[in-house]
Amino acid sequence: MTSDVNEREFELVIVGGGPAGLTAGMYAKRSELNAVVLERGLPGGQLLNTDLIDDYPGLPEIDGRELADRMAKHATKFGLPIDTFTVKGIKKLADGDFRVTTEEGPVYRAPAVILTAGGTPNKLEVPGEEEFAGRGVSYCAICDGAFFKGETIAVAGGGDAAAEEAEFLTRYVEKLYLIHRRDQLRAQKILQTRVFENPKIEVIWDTVIEEVLGDLKGMTGLRLKNLKSGEQGTLDVTGLFVFIGFRPNTGLLEDHAEHDAGGYLISDRDMRSSIPGLFVGGDCRSQLTRQITTAVGDGTTAVIAAEKYLTELKGAKAG
């Protein structure tokens, strides 16, 4: 392994400090691997945007930030370093090592990488959305919900995140419209039941948002279109929370890796990607469901497989 003064050498670099990355880091240090986690912000990933978690075994009700803090403390207990840098590129070099570059300058080099970088929230890409971002439009309920006390707002989406965050937001707002482009929600049944039984929530079916309206003071409403009837109209709301999925942060890879139509990396049962030495886990991996429990499992499997890969690599070099 060669390096220059600008490089930091490790056996394993874990990109992303969410549940998958923190779990991988914890197991890596328990196995005494020279590993590091790179995370652009506070450790926790999507946990930091979740208010109440009630589906993590053994912790029937816990705040997302508290769970993130517990996971980070557990991982660092074993000596795991968590470096706060934004990764901008991951490339496999001719000698087999990976070079991980960051926006802040440091370069990391290792024979194995675990990518657990999660994803970025999708946007509606409609007029007014960008203009009123932070002035009515938000992508994080726990971050901004308290700013809308007593107001009437809307949530766009129909999956788990939209249902969970809509219910959370009702603790602040007077009225909430859940706007979905289909005639039924995609969220888990228990989450749908909570939505339908909440007196503050009204679902608007078969409808898309065409424009975010507002003035100098901020957002004032939405322009809507019913996909079945073609009818258009406006809805008076002072806030819009968008939960329509997210894009996996797999664009960090400078080399081509096998992926599905959504850009999620395809792996085998051991979290190996199509690039030798690159393992994947959590929300950027192609799989049936993306939950905290599956992310933790991915991280566990990925680091054990990475350790085996490193051992085989050392044996091959020694031979």
Residue 140 to residue 83: CA distance in whole angstroms: 24
Catalytic hit among 63, 83, 144, 206: 144
Q: How far is CA 64 from CA 56, 71, 102, 147, 192, in A?
A: 11, 11, 27, 20, 21
CA angle 208–210–212, rounded 5-degree value = 115
Is 270 in the active site? no
The active-site residue out of 69, 83, 140, 206 is 140
Which residue of the set 54, 143, 236, 270 is catalytic?
143
Collapsing DSSP to helix, strand or coil, 93 comes out as coil
Helix, strand, coil percentages (3-state) for the chain, rounded to 5, are 30, 30, 40
Residue 144 bears catalytic tag: yes
What six digits make up the tokens of 310? 């490193």
Catalytic residue status for 140? yes
Residues with Cβ within 8 Å of 148's Cβ and at least 6 positions away in sequence, in order, are 169, 172, 173, 238, 239
- Which of 110, 116, 113 shows the shortest CA–CA distance to 7? 110
117 CB-near residues (< 8 Å, 6+ apart):
15, 16, 21, 87, 248, 249, 250, 252, 282, 284
Strands of 32-105, DSSP E: 35-38, 52-53, 62-63, 82-83, 87-92, 98-102
Nearest Cα neighbor of 38 from 77, 6, 86 is 86
Residues taking part in catalysis: 140, 143-144
